[in-house]
């Protein structure tokens, strides 16, 4: 069964930009794409487009919000959004207990280029925006470190700045 993304999904038209992956055009509604894509002819993120794409069924699925998938007993570092980005992106994280929190940005050489958060935070869900306007295009990493008593957490994720 194929799954279609909802019409308001942030995944629409942000798949691979190579034209060989473009979705087939809807002949009754140019320049929009036929199913399984939504939006224009650029394929959707997570979908296979191009000459080999086809419709199998009509099942609509959506993207759950982060709050629905977070385990309230565990630390969580979300993938930045949008990614790739230019020059602003949002990073979401969850801390299950009061913690000393550091959120740092590293370049592709592993050098720390910026600290976004370095403070004590109470338990909860947080969003932070990073403006990379002063940095060049490339791959960056962000690392969340949280310490609470004897408990500690550290996780790193990759993001791409495209200018």
Segment 38-65 mean pLDDT: 55
DSSP assignment letter at 21: G
The Cα 58–Cα 133 span in angstroms is 42
106-150 pLDDT, tens digit each: 999 999 999 999 999 998 889 999 999 999 999 999 999 999 988
Closest alpha carbon to 157 in 94, 79, 101, 76: 79
Span of 1-10, 24-33, 53-62, 113-122 with lowest mean pLDDT: 53-62
Higher pLDDT, 60 or 91: 91
Mean pLDDT for all residues in the chain: 80
Residue 158, classed as helix, strand or coil, is: strand
Q: Can you point out the beta strands (E) in the chain?
A: 3-5, 59-61, 76-77, 88-95, 99-106, 112-121, 124-131, 138-148, 151-161
The answer to pTM > 0.75 is no
73-106 pLDDT, tens digit each: 789 999 999 999 999 999 999 998 999 999 999 9
Query: Does residue 51 register a pLDDT over 80?
Result: no
């Amino acid at each position: 069964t194929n799954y279609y993304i909802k019409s308001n999904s942030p995944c629409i038209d942000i798949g691979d930009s190579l034209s060989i992956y473009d979705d087939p055009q809807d002949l009754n509604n140019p320049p929009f794409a036929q199913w399984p894509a939504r939006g224009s002819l650029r394929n959707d993120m997570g979908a296979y487009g191009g000459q080999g794409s086809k419709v199998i069924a009509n099942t609509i699925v959506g993207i759950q919000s982060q709050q629905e998938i977070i385990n309230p007993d565990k630390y969580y570092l979300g993938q930045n959004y949008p990614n790739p980005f230019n020059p602003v992106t949002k990073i979401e994280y969850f801390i299950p207990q009061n913690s000393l929190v550091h959120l740092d940005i590293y370049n592709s050489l592993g050098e720390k280029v910026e600290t976004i958060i370095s403070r004590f935070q109470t338990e909860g869900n947080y969003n932070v925006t990073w403006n990379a306007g002063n940095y060049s295009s490339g791959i960056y990493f962000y690392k969340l470190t949280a310490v609470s008593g004897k408990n500690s957490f550290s996780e790193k994720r990759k993001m791409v700045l495209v200018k």
